[in-house]
Amino acid sequence: MLRITRDTIHYALDKARAPVAVVDPGAELLFETWDARTGTIRSERDLLDAPHPDGPNPATGPVFVRGADPGDALAVQILDIALGTRGYTGTRPGQGVLGHTIAAHRTRLCEIADGMVVFNDRIRFPVRPMVGVIGTAPPGEGIGTLHPGPHGGNMDHNDVRVGARVHLPVFVPGALLSIGDVHASMGDGEISITALEVAGEVRVRVDLEKDAALRRPWIDLPDSWITTGDGPTIADAIRVAAEEMARLLMGRLGLSADDAYMLLSIRGDARVSQCAEPAVVAATARMVMPRL
């Protein structure tokens, strides 16, 4: 299996970036990912008080997929997410949903052992591995890995996890797939703007869906379909995800717009994905619909 190493990190998904590997559809790949601060948070004295000089959320890649053309989609099956042995989180005054309650920067390192996060002497809980950044190169200017968009990017959906198949629009030849920002655990909303950030190894299979004509990423799981949205507020993000799900239900189940809307309202779940700091990074949301 081809290993895409951590030394290929970059901080913007950009069609001008040269691919580090060329693969055929159906290839299995392992992406080594750095944590969101590129390994610079080594002790609890290392604070989140200044941005990393190169940017947040390093992504590994990009990978060129043979035969992928604009109008197609990649289907990225998440096969495994291996976590490093220690992650960090932290607080910053004025940042995130409760930033007004925070007086000083604070960093917390959490050991990750035997599938558990050790928060402190008394509190431990099972890991919930997910991938924060996954995307293709956008058609225009490069987009920093802080930001989500129709190309994917920093979507922070808790459903980008093992077993998920992430469908990403292709905007440029070869698609140029990048992956980063693994979390050992993140609450929906990531309300402080920092999850349990950790280096990882993400094993995927990359398939090609010709002429899929996607507008945005969507995700399927064995039991559900999930559409994605982003926007300046969480309400805007939910609206986009709901519009996408209505389209999906109309197309797949042959429903009218009215029926899709009614079904979504009575059975679809609108979920917050990332709503920490909408003035800095667009809010993201998803619409989750069980397979019926």
Determine the interface stretch with Ca ion among 76-84, 131-139, 238-246, 284-292 (rule: CB under 5 A): 131-139
From the CA atom positions of the chain, what is the Rg in Å? Answer: 18
Residue whose CB is less far from Ca ion, 91 or 154: 154
Residue whose CB is less far from Ca ion, 186 or 248: 186
Amino acid code (one letter) for 171: F
Other beta carbons within 10 angstroms of residue 86's beta carbon come to: 18
Residue whose CB is less far from Ca ion, 19 or 152: 152
Structure tokens at 41: 């948070």
Interface with Ca ion includes 164 (CB under 5 A)?
Answer: no
Q: How far is the CB of 154 from Ca ion (least distance, A)?
A: 5
Interface with Ca ion includes 72 (CB under 5 A)?
Answer: no
Residue whose CB is less far from Ca ion, 9 or 208: 9
Q: How far is the CB of 281 from Ca ion (least distance, A)?
A: 8
- CA dist 191 → 29, 274, 278 (Å): 32, 7, 11
Residue burial 161-188, b: 16+ Cβ < 10 Å; e: rest: beebbbbbbbbbbbbbbbbbbbbbbbeb
Upstream peptide bond of 173 is cis (omega within 30 degrees of 0) = no
Q: How far is the CB of 262 from Ca ion (least distance, A)?
A: 34
Interface with Ca ion includes 132 (CB under 5 A)?
Answer: yes
Residue whose CB is less far from Ca ion, 145 or 227: 145
From candidates 107, 136, 145, 154, binder to Ca ion by CB under 5 A: 154
Q: How far is the CB of 42 from Ca ion (least distance, A)?
A: 17
Indicate the residue whose CB is closest to Ca ion: 132
- CA dist 181 → 94, 155, 188 (Å): 23, 10, 15
Other beta carbons within 10 angstroms of residue 270's beta carbon come to: 19
Residue whose CB is less far from Ca ion, 185 or 268: 185
Rounded to 5 degrees, what are φ and ψ at 167?
Answer: -100, 120
SS3 state at 101? helix
Interface with Ca ion includes 87 (CB under 5 A)?
Answer: no
CA–CA separation, 243 and 233 (whole Å): 16
From candidates 9, 12, 13, 36, binder to Ca ion by CB under 5 A: 36
Interface with Ca ion includes 181 (CB under 5 A)?
Answer: yes
Give the residues lining the site for Ca ion (CB under 5 A).
Answer: 36, 132, 154, 156, 181, 195, 197
